[in-house]
Amino acid sequence: MLGAEREIVANQIESGQVRIVFWPMLDHGNASLNAHAAADCIGRQDVDAFWQVHDQFFRDQGELWQARRDYFVELAVAAGVDQFEFQSCYDSGIGHATVTELDSIRRSQGIFNRPTFDINSQLLIGSQPYEVFVRFFDSAMP
């Protein structure tokens, strides 16, 4: 996501008003598949480390196009998770299978535009400024 995410985290998430669920879209072949699989294997060990890597991937998007296994292993170690456990997950294909399944679910739901935000069942399509998210949050409040 990035963009307005920092402001949403600082205001709506820190206050307990909103939670963000990350749902992978695999729109760029193996580059997308490997990056999401690596993030999933890190998250299996430490959810906070998943969000740390999630933010880093969006900041360093350019590097993901050419990223190999060693790049993800170094990233996992830097995030504080166990190296051998991460390698076992990544090499076994568990992470790849999980994100592939999630991607097929969103396709079955008719979600093809990237990014798409589902805010309490209201769809917001495309990158939007923070103020637009706030309006959606206000209207979605139960």
Partner 1 sequence: MRQIALLFSLILILVACGSETRSQPFVTIQELPSRMIATEVATEEPSKDPTPTEAPLVLPPTASPVEQNTEQPVEAPTEIVATEVAETPTSLPVEINGQYENTYFRGLATAPITMIDYSDFL
Nearest approach, Cβ of residue 74 and partner 1 (Å): 16
Q: Does 74 help bind partner 1 (rule: CB under 8 A)?
A: no
What would the two tokens of residue 41 be? 């294997």
Tell me: does residue 128 bind partner 1 (CB under 8 A).
no
The beta-strand segments (E) located in 30-137 are 116-119, 122-125
Site for partner 1 in 79-98 (CB under 8 A): 98
User: CA 62, CA 141: separation in Å to the nearest integer?
Assistant: 37
Which of these ranges, 40-48, 69-77, 84-92, lies near partner 1 under the rule CB under 8 A? 40-48
- Supply 97's token pair: 């299978």
Out of 114, 126, 129, 135, the only residue in the binding site for partner 1 (CB under 8 A) is 114
Using CA atoms, how far residue 46 sits from 26, 98, 101, in Å, is: 22, 16, 21
**71 with 39: CB under 8 angstroms?**
no
Size of the site for partner 1 (CB under 8 A): 52
φ, ψ (nearest 5 deg) of residue 116? -125, 140
Interface residue list for partner 1 (CB under 8 A): 1, 8-9, 12-13, 16-28, 31-32, 35-36, 39-40, 43, 47-48, 50-51, 54, 57-58, 61, 64-65, 98, 101-102, 106, 111, 114-120, 133, 137, 140-142
